[in-house]
Amino acid sequence: MPAVSPDGRITRFPAIGPISGDWGGGGELGSMAAWHAVRSEDGRGRKTALERAVPAYFGLKRPRQLMEAIYFGRIDEKRLAEVAPVLFEVAIDGDAVAREVVDRQADEVVSMAGTAIRRLRMQRLDVHVVLGGGIFRNGDHAFFDRIRAGLREVAPAAEVRVLEAPPVAGAAMMGLDRVGAPKSAQARVRRALTHERLGTQTLARRKER
């Protein structure tokens, strides 16, 4: 996650997973949802609606069945990232366990962005914090309220925005700018690279498998 100050200074974090101090994102959230689902079923953890919601996403009834499917290779473990929206839905419905996981993600966003703001000494500026990625495409108002409240403790005038276009669109635009592509090419890319189109393509690839 890069952050840029008005005078051009940049700060960033390695962002290569847990070994670089990161936590969160679709993969982490999906795995945590499955973790809590399993522990809810076998008694090691608190009861949570994730116990039914997580396996149900894969057409299964019990977390144990999901673990068996992953172990024997019938379901790729990487697909747990797809469960992140389910986690948010369960949290919105009032499940305490799911809410704790979602709150942890919000706090991680605040920690990362807040640290970047401090590093660049922008606490007194009207900083724009742009949230991009699949996990931010949810209707969980409490999640975004927690992020805003946390960031405003660091920078009172901070403004949080959710990126409407998929992040890959920005990378494509930068590439087109570098090669001097015409505006018409940029317009075509904007029309082609949308969440809806990319989501449809991903679903089609999964069905092919």
What pLDDT is recorded for position 186?
A: 64
pLDDT digits (tens, 9 = 90+) for 6-50: 999 999 998 888 899 999 999 999 999 999 999 999 999 999 999
Evaluate if residue 195 carries a pLDDT over 80: no
Residue 178 makes CB contacts below 8 A (sequence gap 6+) with none
Q: What is the mean pLDDT of residues 124-131?
A: 95
Q: How far is residue 73's CA from residue 199's CA, in Å, rounded to a whole number?
A: 24
Residue 46 tokens, joined: 């608190």
Confidence class for position 164, pLDDT limits 50, 70, 90: confident
Mean predicted lDDT score pLDDT of the chain: 88
Longest dimension (CA), the chain: 60
Q: How confident is the model over 67-114, as pLDDT tens digits?
A: 999 999 999 999 999 999 999 999 999 999 999 999 999 999 999 999
Residue ranges per domain, the chain? 3-162, 167-208
Confidence of residue 206 (pLDDT cuts 50, 70, 90): very low
SS3 of 54-123: HHHHCCCCCHHHHHHHHHCCCCCHHHHHHHHHHHHHHHHCCCHHHHHHHHHHHHHHHHHHHHHHHHCCCC
Q: Which CATH architecture fits 3-162?
A: 2-Layer Sandwich (3.30)
127 pLDDT band, cuts 50/70/90, is very high
pTM of the model: 0.81
Element containing residue 40 per DSSP (H, E): helix 25-42
